[in-house]
């Protein structure tokens, strides 16, 4: 990115705008807001998030009337929603509220994009879920996460009024250790080689730790993360050879690691391609097994 100062100008300008004038939002501006929403990350790349753009004045008014926290006549609104059935079907498990975080990420993208284009916006959560679902014809299997009213600010709010100051709590490295802006913290570039990983024994311990924490993750995370973690463990196993004093590198394992790393995004893009990749890998391992048995 050539100019990060633009982003920081937008971050500075952003506030909750609750007073809009009646200027409509042009379609090309709406399209950019939609783009911003969909550019936000989603946990596991699971497609359960969707948005509804509301620009019908009557519908907007009705939305406002069922939302005690919705002040100001906005020209449009974007409602960020989650399809709970898709969430359940793909992840198979309770994803620890990830879909709600995903909605927040999309909503923040919309708000920042809005401010970048001279609009005002805010998050609204004080509304009747039942009423909003009915107004938007949302099926039972869907949930609304946030409403974002959008419009041109009715007045210059370059110095936004904030109900409360504070809330800027930052600690350094552990809870309670206050971050001071005067802090001169060096950021260590790249990979840090720590003492625990320098010997074979420590490398094996680190791998065991990875497996134990992954095992816990597999209980709650999307099921596809299980094979991802196991393949990651194969790569880590291959790396352990570098820790043996007299290297007896296993070329097959090193090559397998290379293939796994080259294909590591498949699990997030297409489950079918990912399964095919694992099947191919299993065949290569089986061929190697046969070769090693001299058959
Ligand atoms: C999850 C969430 C829900 C919110 N819901 C409402 C709401 O229903 N009505 C409202 O006026 N503001 C709502 N806000 C805006 C907050 O009140 C506002 O962000 C906060 O007071 C800080 O002010 P600022 O956004 O101008 O920095 C919400 C904010 C968040 C993050």
Residue 89 CA to residue 95 CA, distance in Å, equals: 12
8 Å CB contact between 63 and 121 = no
pLDDT bracket for residue 93 (50, 70, 90): low
Alpha carbon distance 79, 145 (integer Å): 7
Across the range 232-239, mean pLDDT stands at 93
Tens of pLDDT, residue by residue over 156-181, are 876 656 656 667 788 888 988 888 88
pTM: 0.84
Looking at ligand 1, which residue's alpha carbon is closest to its atom 9?
69
- Summarised one tens digit per residue, pLDDT across range 49-76 is 999 999 999 999 999 999 999 988 999 9
Q: Is the Cβ atom of 68 under 6 angstroms away from ligand 1?
A: no
pLDDT at 186 over 70: no
Ligand 1 atom at minimal distance to the Cα of residue 68: 8
Ligand 1 centroid – CA 85 distance (Å): 28
For 171, other C-beta atoms within 10 Å of its C-beta total: 10
- Among protein residues, the one whose CA lies closest to atom 30 of ligand 1: 123
pLDDT over 80 at 224, yes or no: yes
- The minimum-distance atom of ligand 1 relative to the CA of 126 is 8
Name the phi and psi angles at 78, rounded to 5. -115, 130
Of ligand 1's listed atoms, the one at least distance from the Cα of 127 is 8
Could you tell me the CA-to-CA distances from 217 to 70, 220, 228, 268 in Å, in that order?
38, 6, 12, 17
Contacts 24+ apart (CB under 8 A), 1-8: 6/116, 7/112
The total number of residues shown for the chain amounts to: 295
Could you report the per-residue pLDDT of 189-211, keeping only the tens digit for each? 666 666 556 788 899 999 999 99
Q: What are phi and psi of 250, to 5 degrees?
A: -95, 100
Report the C-alpha gap between 277 and 271 in whole angstroms.
10
Q: Check residue 28 and give its pLDDT.
A: 97
Task: Give the other-Cβ count within 10 Å of 117's Cβ.
Answer: 16
Distance between CA atoms of residues 72 and 58, nearest Å: 14
């Amino acid at each position: 990115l050539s100019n990060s100062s633009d982003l920081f100008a937008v971050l500075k300008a952003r506030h909750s705008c609750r007073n809009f004038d009646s200027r409509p939002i042009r379609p090309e501006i709406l399209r950019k807001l939609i783009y911003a929403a969909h550019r936000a990350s989603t946990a596991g790349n699971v497609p359960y998030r969707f948005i509804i753009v509301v620009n019908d004045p009557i519908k907007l008014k009705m939305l406002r009337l069922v939302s005690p926290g919705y002040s100001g006549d906005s020209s449009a609104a974007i409602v960020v929603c989650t399809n709970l059935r898709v969430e359940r079907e793909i992840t198979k498990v309770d994803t620890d509220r990830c879909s709600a975080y995903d909605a927040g990420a999309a909503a923040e993208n919309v708000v920042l994009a809005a401010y970048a284009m001279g609009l005002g916006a805010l998050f609204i959560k004080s509304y009747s879920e039942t009423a909003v679902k009915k107004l938007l014809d949302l099926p039972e299997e869907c949930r609304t996460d946030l409403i974002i009213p959008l419009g041109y600010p009715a007045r210059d709010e370059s110095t936004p009024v904030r109900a409360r100051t504070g809330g800027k709590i930052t600690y350094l490295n552990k809870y309670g250790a206050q971050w001071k802006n005067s802090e001169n913290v060096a950021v260590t570039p790249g990979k840090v080689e720590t003492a625990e990983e320098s010997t074979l024994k420590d490398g094996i311990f680190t791998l065991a730790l990875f497996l134990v924490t992954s095992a816990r993750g597999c209980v709650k995370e999307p099921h596809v993360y299980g094979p991802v973690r196991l393949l990651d463990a194969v790569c880590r196993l291959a790396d352990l050879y570098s820790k043996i004093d007299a290297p007896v590198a296993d070329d097959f394992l090193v090559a397998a690691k290379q293939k796994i790393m080259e294909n590591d995004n498949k699990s997030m893009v297409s489950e079918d391609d990912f399964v095919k990749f694992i099947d191919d890998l299993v065949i290569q391992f089986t061929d190697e097994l046969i070769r090693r048995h001299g058959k």
